[in-house]
Homo-oligomer: A and B are copies of this chain.
Amino acid sequence: MTYCLGILLPSGLILASDSRSSAGVDQIAVVKKLALFEVPGERVIAILSAGNLATTQAVITMIRQYTRHKQDSAAGGENRDILAARTMFDVAQIVGGVLREVLRLNRSFVEPYGDPNGSFIVAGQIAGEPHRLFQVYSAGNFVEASGRTQFLQLGETKYGKPILDRALQEASGLDEAAKLALLSFDATVRSNLSVAPPIDLLRYEADSFSTKHLAKYDSHHPYWADLRQRYSDGLSALVASLPAPDFPA
């Protein structure tokens, strides 16, 4: 499994992914699920992946190749170079299209062994439009986040949802959302073996067109360890401070 999270805020984006890839309990690996594409000062695009690793790696690799070999990227008349796309909507459409092609080529060969599907969070900003956040389904179609649907998740989504439902506000700042994202990952990592650090976290400030606020938290990272400890201690103290339920004597 996997856990990926994208949060849309007025002031920017928070994007995070775990690093565990598993095919059964005796075949686990550490993989990076956050791919970055950047033209400094002009565009930042992040793609987070979940699902069949061969499928998602093929999609990301093809998208990366299309940005380098412009002539290969024109498929049936559409340009698949996300560094040339005019809008983030067009980027999401390219990701969905490449995913459809990879699945068209591989699905029938892979299905006897397992699920070939993959899905993506596609987020970022292109100069001339606001920062945007999309979720691309395995069918290649996609939805966009808004002030009412502020976060999108992939993979093992349930454990980390309550803290976001409870504490994330439309007007939350980037730092607050980054903390909530890490706590959402901590909840998931504690409760589910198929999601594991290092956690890649991108804090994207609107109109910065920069990926400099990128961090990697492994289990021993002092900030991650401190955050987990403070949160658990604080939560225990909070629960202890709540009144006990009242029953007939």
**Partner-B contacts on A (CB < 8 A):** 158-163, 165-167, 175-176, 178-180, 182-183, 187-188, 190-191, 201, 203, 212-215, 223, 226-227, 230-232, 234-236, 238-248
Residues of B within 8 A of A248 (CB): 212-213
Partner of A187, one of B162, B213, B245: B162
Is A187 a contact partner of B203 (Cβ separation < 8 A)? Answer: no
Cβ 8 A contact of A176, one of B163, B215, B227, B240: B240
User: Are B238 and A234 in contact (CB-based, < 8 A)?
Assistant: yes
Is B215 touching A183 in the complex (CB atoms < 8 A)?
no
CB distance from A241 to the nearest CB of B (A): 7
- Do A241 and B234 form a contact, CB below 8 Å, given A165-B191, A187-B166, A191-B165? yes
B residues in contact with A179, CB < 8 Å: 239, 242, 244-245
Pick from B183, B232, B244: contact of A178, CB below 8 A: B244
Docked complex Cα distance between A236 and B167 (Å): 6
Chain B nearest Cβ from A236, distance in angstroms: 6
Q: Is the CB of B175 within 8 A of A245?
A: yes
Q: How far is the CA of A231 from the CA of B245 in the complex (A)?
A: 14
A226 to chain B, nearest CB (A): 7
Q: A166-B190, A240-B176 are contacts. A245–B203 as well, Cβ < 8 Å?
A: yes
Interface centre among A187, A223, A227 (most CB of B within 10 A): A187
- When the two chains form their complex, are residues B213 and A242 in contact, meaning their CB atoms are under 8 A apart? no
